[in-house]
Structure 1
Amino acid sequence: MPDKLSLPLDDLLNGLRAAGEATRVRLLALLRQSELTVKDATTILGQSQPRISRHLKLLTEAGLVQRFPEGSWVYYRLADNAQGGLVEALLSRLDEDDAIVARDRERLDAIKHAQAEVAAAYFRAHAEVWDSLRAFHIAEDAVESAMREALGEEHFSSMLDMGTGTGRVLELFADLYDSGLGVDTSHDMLRVARANIERAGMQAAQVRHGDIYSLPVTGQRFDVVTFHQVLHYLEDAPGALVEAARVLKPGGRLLVVDFAPHKLEFLRTDHAHRRLGFSHEQMAGWLGAAGLELVSVRDLPPPAERPDEAGDPLTVTLWLAREPGTSSHSQVAAEPAKEVA
């Protein structure tokens, strides 16, 4: 692996010039801890929006910082490249107890606390719906345990969670990947996910606004891609699977978790479900059309004891597929597809 700090002379000089200013050093120190918007930075540093925007523009042009537009907002974070490694090296010499740096850190913590409170309020506002839906299928901890079993405990480099919602899947597998990315179209859910990532201290994870039919991941490939209770909301579930397959590394794995066919029409009318579950045959056909090999299928039936008002129960199904190239996981993925009740 190339040294993360190795840079051509011109890039090194440009990076040093860009970082060589007090406000920009403070910005880099903050971005080392968390993603920021311009609004966050202006609040913390007490400077005007045009001034902060100019500093961030210079840092971005020098390759030290990356920007991710999300609707009318733009999130900034340290670059994950050699220039980012340069920033890490420079900031490692910064005194964390410096009065200015410590005050910036306190203001950042205050902002994050306020955002966490907003996220908690959002959860409370939707808790009634989520709790009522859980009565129809197996407990979520059992689903998560099955997801861990499906992917195994072997470490992998990169993960993409499609329709990440609250970022729970990124948290579930945080001990297995080097970098995790969640993509979602909902700004509200992304704010919740960011608060959860911050709370859990998941420095290797990030979330990004984007269309899962046209992913904002130019040039990136992933070892694992997941869909957790997402496909039933989509108009074009097969199209989403094709896009997921496109960004898998050779031998990479795709895990889909969703409902088996059911008759709960109210989920369509009241909760925006576009499809009432998926059969084994239907999903196998879609995965094959996306160029993937089906590895295993597992059904998780609802518990025997459930509230009477639950009506028709929901079975949760896990489909594991792989890109038919070779990788360190090929010896696992090469097993023929199997169904587990």
Structure 2
Amino acid sequence: MQEPVHRVALDALVAALKAAGEPTRLRILALLAEGDLSVKDLTTILGQSQPRISRHLKLLVEADLVHRFPEGAWAYYRLADGMRSGGYAEGLLGALDEADPLVRRDRERREAVRRAHAEAAAAYFADNAAGWSELRRLHVSEAAVEQALREVVGPGRFGAMLDIGTGTGRMLELFGDLYAQAIGIDQSQPMLAVARANLEAAGEGGGRDVQVRHGDVHAIALPPASFDLVTIHQVLHFLDDPHRAVREAARMLRPGGRLLIVDFAPHGLEFLRSHHAHRRLGFDHATVEGWIHDAGLEPVVTRDLAPQGDEGRDEKLTVTIWLARDPRLLVAAGSEAAARPA
């Protein structure tokens, strides 16, 4: 079946062709086709000044060939989706000779930038390793949690995933074989740098199907009803208003979509509040399930993962998994079945 063609007005098409019809801007499009880049990245790769690169990017954004995503004092740029831009950027890049010396040099410099990002992320991990190791020892192993998450979500593939408070990007890696597209958002720029490096190392971040962005978990700047799976992994205990974050996550779900929440059960480890910025010391089943109902969702699974054997001391933390579903598709299906003649 032939893919639908998104038609654009004559003026818009001419503007896009003019924007792309310049050597540096065409090189920028080729680089962004391989993943998100900042102005700083592009100045390093292309060897041009920041004002010059910013001017080129402004023209590409105005022509709807490139999208801009602010991230604090920075911004990341990404090749526009083909259905919005008409697909002519992909057509132009498809005709570009990858063996061209300039194109090949740009690609080599982009790899050097990626390596620098990975080295910076490794240094960040080293600076914070002691605190993370301390937290890991407090609860059931990450391998056991991740196995349980895979079991709860199941093996079925789906379209789009949103990971709220993506941190190191681990949830995007864990479900990478199930989704077609995914976005991770986080308010911490250093953690976003870590996530980008991890996803690139895992082979998830080199293309356009996975991205991470700076974002507010309480006011997500994405179209509502756009995701089949939304995950909130070990995030709610850091928030002043976790109830609001659950409502915002539910707003992102398509009819029939699922919300996966992972957090600690109630505990008394006060040092997590004083030394690790935890605002809440865990959540009981009824509290989170109440938030789920209030957000218009239906609880499907509630599962505790308690430390076993030598792990099961009083100071150890229990991890709880909640899975909820948007019932709108289910209600529609039920109504259709009720209306169908016997």
TM over 0.5: yes
1:174 is paired with a residue of what secondary structure? coil
Equivalent in the alignment of 2:52: 51
Equivalent in the alignment of 2:340: none
CA distance in 1 between counterparts of 2:226 and 2:76 reads 22
How has the CA–CA distance of structure 1 residues 56 and 269 changed in structure 2, closer, same or farther, with 3 Å as cutoff?
A: same
Equivalent in the alignment of 1:271: 276
CA distance in 2 between counterparts of 1:60 and 1:220 reads 25
- What does the per-residue CA deviation read over 1:171-218, in whole Å, with 9 as the maximum and x for residues that have no partner? 111111111011110011011111112222222110111111000113
**Equivalent residue letter for 2:18:** R
Establish whether residue 313 from structure 1 lines up as the match of residue 333 from structure 2.
no
How has the CA–CA distance of structure 1 residues 65 and 84 changed in structure 2, closer, same or farther, with 3 Å as cutoff?
A: farther
1:26 is paired with a residue of what secondary structure? helix
Deviation at 1:219, TM superposition (A): 4.7
- Aligned-pair identity in percent equals 57
Equivalent in the alignment of 2:31: 30
- What does the per-residue CA deviation read over 1:113-139, in whole Å, with 9 as the maximum and x for residues that have no partner? 011000011111111111111111111
Unaligned runs of 5+ in 2: 335-342
Tell me, yes or no, if the aligned pair for 1:262 and 1:276 is still in contact at 8 Å: yes
The 10-residue stretch of structure 1 (68-77 or 87-96) with the greater mean CA deviation from structure 2: 87-96
CA distance in 2 between counterparts of 1:32 and 1:126 reads 33
- Identify the match of residue 109 of structure 1 among 105, 108, 111: 111
| TM-score, normalised with respect to structure 2 | 0.91
Equivalent in the alignment of 2:231: 226
- What does the per-residue CA deviation read over 1:251-277, in whole Å, with 9 as the maximum and x for residues that have no partner? 110000011111111111111111111
Tell me, yes or no, if the aligned pair for 1:4 and 1:85 is still in contact at 8 Å: no
2:310 is paired with a residue of what secondary structure? coil
Count matched residues: 328
Tell me, yes or no, if the aligned pair for 1:163 and 1:212 is still in contact at 8 Å: yes
**Equivalent residue letter for 1:224:** L
2:197 is paired with a residue of what secondary structure? helix
How has the CA–CA distance of structure 1 residues 289 and 220 changed in structure 2, closer, same or farther, with 3 Å as cutoff?
A: closer
Equivalent in the alignment of 1:147: 149
Equivalent in the alignment of 1:216: 221
How has the CA–CA distance of structure 1 residues 67 and 2 changed in structure 2, closer, same or farther, with 3 Å as cutoff?
A: farther
Equivalent in the alignment of 1:283: 288
CA distance in 2 between counterparts of 1:220 and 1:16 reads 33
Tell me, yes or no, if the aligned pair for 1:267 and 1:273 is still in contact at 8 Å: yes
Equivalent in the alignment of 1:7: 7
Equivalent in the alignment of 2:244: 239
**Equivalent residue letter for 1:184:** D
How has the CA–CA distance of structure 1 residues 2 and 241 changed in structure 2, closer, same or farther, with 3 Å as cutoff?
A: farther
Please report the RMSD computed on the Cα atoms of aligned residues, expressed in angstroms: 1.9
2:155 is paired with a residue of what secondary structure? coil
